[in-house]
Amino acid sequence: MNLSHYLLKHLDGSESQKELSLIIADIASAGREISHNVQRSGLLDLHGAAGGENVHAEEVQKLDETSNEIVKEVLADNEHILALASEEEESVVDCSEGKKTGFIAAFDPLDGSSNIDINMPVGTIFSVLPTTGNFEQDFMQPANHQVAAGYILYGSSTVMVFSAGKGVHEFTLDPETGEFVLTNENIKMPENSGYISYNPYVLYQMAPGRAKAYEELVKETGRSMRYVGAMVADVHRTLMKGGFFAYPAVGKDGKYKGKLRMQYEAKPLGWLAEQAGGKALLDGKPVNDILPEELHQKVSVELGDRGIMKLFGRLLAD
C-alpha cells in the first residue's frame, strides 16, 4: 500500500485529519527531493560547506542549505501550515497569509550533516503541532501535543517513519516509481535485543555518577555498541532493533548541558520512541512532562526499549 492510500484509509474523515494527511504527503514529497540530492550529492557539487554559520554557530553544509530550502518551500506552500521553525532558521517563519486553518511544523532539514561527505546516513526530522495563532508560544507545547512526528532517513534505502498518534509506521521509497510504500506497520521496539548507542567520549564530559550508569549498562547487558553520529539513524536502529540511545548533558565543573535540539530532534524522536512502546527522557525527565522554554533550546536525550530503560533507571538510582 502506498502512503496516499494509507493516509486515506487510516485517518478519520475530520477536516483536521484531512489537513494533516496533506501535510504528511507534502513532507514525503520534500523527502523524495532531498533523497534525490543526497544520492547525487557528489555529482551535483553538494558536498562541503556552504560558507556560513547557523544560529547554533555551526558551519552550514551545502546540503543543509538546499534541504532547508526544499522543506521550507514545500511547507510554506501547504495550505494548512501556518508557521514553521527550522534548525537552520533564526526565528519562526510566519506563512499564514491567506490561509484559514492548520498547524505549525518544526523540522531539522538534514540531521547528521557531518555524515554527508562520507556517504553515511542522514535524515530529515519533523514535528507537527496544533496552533492557537500565537505561533512562538505554540512551539512551546510538550511532546504529547504533537499531532504527527517522524523522520525520513536517507540510508541504504530511503524510509519515512512517522506516527500521527495511531502507531508508528515505516514506508520505503521505491526508486523506480517514486512512491513511498508501507513496509512496516505498528513498529514496536523489541526488548532484550539491539545495541547501546552513545559517543564514548561523552563519558569524560558528563556528570560522573551518570557516566557510571552508562558504563554499567554496557557491562550488565553485555550488548555491543553502535554509533552513527546522526541521531535520526541511531534512533531508527533503536526503534527497529531495541536497545538504548543517548546524548547526555556534557560540560565540566558541575555545569552540564544537553547538545540535541528540543524542537527538531529530541521532542519528535523521543515521542516517536514512546509511540513505539519505548521510553524517552529529556534532561532526565519523561519526554511528555517537559515544557520547552525556547525555540533553539538544547536538551539531553536518553531513550530505549522499556526493559533497558528500566535497567538504566535502576543503575542511575544505585
For binding to ligand AFP (CB under 6 A), which residues are involved? 58, 111-114, 199, 229-231, 247, 260
Q: In whole angstroms, how close is the CB of 169 to ligand AFP at the nearest point?
A: 22
Asked if 184 and 236 touch (Cβ cutoff 8 Å), the reply is no
Q: In whole angstroms, how close is the CB of 282 to ligand AFP at the nearest point?
A: 14
CB closer to ligand AFP, 114 vs 119: 114
Q: Tell me how far apart the alpha carbons of residues 87 and 61 are, in angstroms, rounded to a whole number.
A: 13
Q: Tell me how far apart the alpha carbons of residues 270 and 43 are, in angstroms, rounded to a whole number.
A: 35
Q: In whole angstroms, how close is the CB of 112 to ligand AFP at the nearest point?
A: 5
What separation in angstroms does the CA of 137 have from each of 104, 125, 141?
11, 21, 8
Residue among 147, 113, 154 nearest 127 (CA) = 147
CB closer to ligand AFP, 147 vs 233: 233
CB closer to ligand AFP, 3 vs 301: 301
Nearest position to ligand AFP, beta carbon? 231
CB closer to ligand AFP, 223 vs 237: 237
Residue among 261, 284, 287 nearest 275 (CA) = 287
Asked if 270 and 144 touch (Cβ cutoff 8 Å), the reply is no
Asked if 102 and 19 touch (Cβ cutoff 8 Å), the reply is yes
CB closer to ligand AFP, 80 vs 237: 237
Q: Tell me how far apart the alpha carbons of residues 294 and 63 are, in angstroms, rounded to a whole number.
A: 26
Q: In whole angstroms, how close is the CB of 253 to ligand AFP at the nearest point?
A: 20
CB closer to ligand AFP, 21 vs 113: 113
Q: In whole angstroms, how close is the CB of 52 to ligand AFP at the nearest point?
A: 14
What separation in angstroms does the CA of 250 have from each of 254, 257, 273, 283?
10, 5, 23, 11
Q: Tell me how far apart the alpha carbons of residues 230 and 251 are, in angstroms, rounded to a whole number.
A: 21
Look up residue 292 and give its amino acid: P
Angle in degrees, CA 160, 165, 168, rounded to 5? 35
